[in-house]
């Protein structure tokens, strides 16, 4: 379903298409969504004045709080009777965010997901196991419709029941696995316990996303699961999975620019940053009817690469998301993302990929504890005892981050496994 007419479109044509779609989207927002009508009026702009893509900057940002304030249907740009599907994100802070899709939205989403699957080396002849959760979460159904659109065979197994996942993989000859990277690792561990070697399975591709993961984690997953792993990005507010995906070169994720305009901003000032600079990702949707969004602040940290990609796709790439502005830990003044610690851990040969960060405040001082599970290699290491292992991990992390951390080796299997998004941080500090 690779669509060269769109994915390899010359950039000037792509920009014309974006401008036309942007005008239509702003018009729709202005006419159909009271929230946007007021926002745009207050900012002194109307869709008629959008004559170049640069005019986008005149439009105010939309935030998660705006969606919460308009819960449940206030951001919809069509009457509810035209909405054919509703998803919601659980929202860690209480109020969920609701997203509505028209029939055309589902159609476009399916097409983008089919394109994403092709970028992740999936073909019509493949058997695709969708182990993302089905339900209000967009992962399961988003992938499901994409696989059907592509014409491959989908196993809609959803998340959980890990032994059955492995059985199905063996019995049905799954060739493409779709789940979170942390769940993929959990599956690997379960398969080992079941005496099943991934080298004997037919898996060739894995399409993993919904949470940050590092290149080191990718290497580990590729080695253990014996497949080629692709990073897929998306968020429910903007659509779901399929906003961006890596191609075979794995040098960033191509953003489907016929459907979304990406920007990178300084999260503190809102200033738009130039290509290559790291900041917060912002998206404007270009085709959505049910819930179009103008300059939605994702809180995800990334940067944009406008360089050419040898795959031939002309759509820009975003760097892998390193974390969220709200996941950033500030420990004694130093900003730390869990993914940075993950990269250091994954660089140390023989370590377990299961880790957790615990933050505490003792006597006014923030303490960052990194819990890592002991592995067989550590137990049987004749050169280094466990204490020395702790010291090695500690000095690697400290030299990378520049702050002191506490390392705790914990028994195997004590860090909770995830069948969906992994929880990496336990913050015990009182706010
Ligand atoms: O996680 C959609 C999705 C499903 C994407 C399946 C990929 C695969 P939400 O539950 O709304 O939607 O969570 C969105 O998850 O803002 C990021 O912080 C994070 N996220 C998603 N994909 C990635 C990724 C789905 N590849 C939030 N790398 C986003 C890092 C990711 N973080």
pLDDT for the residue 91: 62
Q: Which two tokens stand for residue 190?
A: 């379960």
Residue 16 CB partners (closer than 8 Å, separation 6+): none
Q: What does the longest C-alpha to C-alpha distance in the chain come to?
A: 73
pLDDT for the residue 327: 83
- Ligand 1 midpoint to CA 139 (Å): 9
pLDDT for the residue 326: 84
For 20, half-sphere exposure in the C-beta direction (CA atoms, 13 angstrom radius) is: 7
pLDDT for the residue 141: 98
pLDDT for the residue 384: 86
245 in Cβ contact with 120 (< 8 Å)? yes
pLDDT for the residue 378: 86
In 3D, which of 259, 304, 241 has the Cα closest to residue 22? 259
- Ligand 1 midpoint to CA 290 (Å): 20
Enumerate domains of the chain plus CATH numbers.
Answer: 1-326 (3.40.50.12780), 329-430 (3.30.300.30)
Question: For the whole prediction, is pTM greater than 0.85?
Answer: yes
Q: Give the dihedral sign, CA 121/127/130/131.
A: negative
- Ligand 1 midpoint to CA 431 (Å): 26
Which residues approach ligand 1 with their CB closer than 6 A? 89, 132, 137-139, 209-212, 231-236, 240-241, 298, 300, 321, 324
Which residue's CA is the closest to the ligand 1 atom numbered 15? 210
- Ligand 1 midpoint to CA 418 (Å): 15
3-state secondary structure of 139: helix
pLDDT for the residue 332: 84
Which residue's CA is the closest to the ligand 1 atom numbered 30? 212
Q: Which two tokens stand for residue 156?
A: 């809609």
- Ligand 1 midpoint to CA 325 (Å): 14
284 in Cβ contact with 25 (< 8 Å)? yes
Which residue's CA is the closest to the ligand 1 atom numbered 27? 235
pLDDT for the residue 92: 56
159 in Cβ contact with 179 (< 8 Å)? yes
Residue 15 CB partners (closer than 8 Å, separation 6+): 53
pLDDT for the residue 94: 65
What is the atom index within ligand 1 of the atom nearest the CA of 321? 30
Q: Say if residue 209 is exposed, middle or buried (CB neighbours under 10 Å; 0-12, 13-18, 19+).
A: buried
- Ligand 1 midpoint to CA 240 (Å): 8
The residues pairing with 279 across neighbouring beta strands, listed in sequence order, are 302
Mean pLDDT by 10-residue block, N- to C-terminus, for the chain (431 residues)?
90 98 98 98 98 98 96 97 93 78 98 98 98 96 98 97 97 98 94 94 98 92 97 97 98 98 97 98 98 97 97 97 87 87 90 92 89 89 88 94 92 93 88 61
Pocket test for ligand 1, best of 99, 144, 184, 234 (most atoms within 8 A of CB): 234
DSSP letters for 325-343: GGG-EEETTEEE-HHHHHH
pLDDT for the residue 181: 95
Residue length of the chain: 431
Paired sense of beta strands 317-318 and 253-255, if any: antiparallel
Distance CA 176, CA 123 (A): 10
Pocket test for ligand 1, best of 210, 322, 326 (most atoms within 8 A of CB): 210
In 3D, which of 285, 280, 270, 272 has the Cα closest to residue 236? 285
């Amino acid at each position: 379903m690779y669509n060269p007419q769109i994915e390899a479109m010359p950039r000037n044509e792509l920009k014309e298409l974006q401008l036309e779609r942007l005008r239509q989207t702003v018009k729709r927002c202005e006419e159909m969504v009271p929230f946007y009508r007021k926002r745009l009026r207050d900012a002194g702009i109307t869709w008629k004045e959008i004559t170049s893509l640069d005019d986008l900057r005149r439009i105010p940002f939309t935030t998660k709080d705006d969606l919460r304030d308009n819960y449940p249907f206030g951001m919809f740009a069509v009457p509810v009777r035209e909405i054919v599907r509703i998803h919601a994100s659980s929202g860690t802070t209480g109020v969920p965010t609701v997203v509505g899709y028209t029939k055309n939205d589902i159609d476009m989403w399916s097409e983008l997901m089919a394109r994403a699957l092709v970028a992740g080396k999936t073909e019509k002849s493949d058997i695709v196991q969708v182990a993302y959760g089905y339900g209000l979460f967009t992962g399961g159904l988003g992938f499901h419709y994409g696989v059907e659109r592509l014409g491959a065979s989908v196993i809609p197994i959803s998340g959980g029941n890990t032994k059955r996942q492995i059985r199905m993989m063996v019995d049905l000859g799954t060739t493409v696995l779709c789940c979170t990277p942390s769940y993929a690792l959990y599956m690997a561990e379960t398969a080992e316990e079941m005496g099943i070697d991934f080298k004997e399975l037919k898996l060739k591709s894995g399409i993993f996303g919904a949470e940050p993961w590092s290149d080191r984690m990718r290497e580990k997953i590729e080695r253990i699961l014996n497949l080629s792993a692709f990073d897929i990005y998306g968020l429910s507010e903007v659509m779901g999975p399929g906003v961006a995906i890596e191609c075979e070169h794995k040098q960033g994720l191509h953003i489907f620019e016929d459907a979304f305009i990406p920007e990178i901003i300084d999260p503190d000032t809102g200033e738009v940053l130039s290509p290559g600079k790291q900041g917060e990702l912002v998206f404007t949707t270009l085709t959505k009817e049910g819930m179009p969004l103008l300059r939605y602040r994702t809180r995800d940290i990334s940067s944009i690469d406008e360089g050419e990609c040898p795959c031939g796709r002309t759509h820009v790439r975003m760097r892998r998301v390193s974390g969220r502005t709200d996941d950033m830990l500030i420990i004694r003044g130093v900003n730390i993302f869990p993914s940075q610690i993950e990269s250091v851990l994954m660089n140390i040969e023989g370590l377990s990929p299961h880790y957790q960060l615990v933050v505490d405040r003792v006597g006014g001082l923030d303490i960052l504890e990194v819990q890592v599970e002991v592995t067989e290699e550590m137990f049987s290491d004749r050169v280094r005892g466990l204490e020395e292992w702790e010291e090695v991990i500690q000095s690697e992390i400290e030299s990378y981050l520049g702050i002191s951390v506490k390392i705790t080796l914990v028994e195997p299997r004590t860090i909770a496994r995830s069948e969906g998004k992994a929880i990496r941080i336990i913050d015990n500090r009182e706010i």
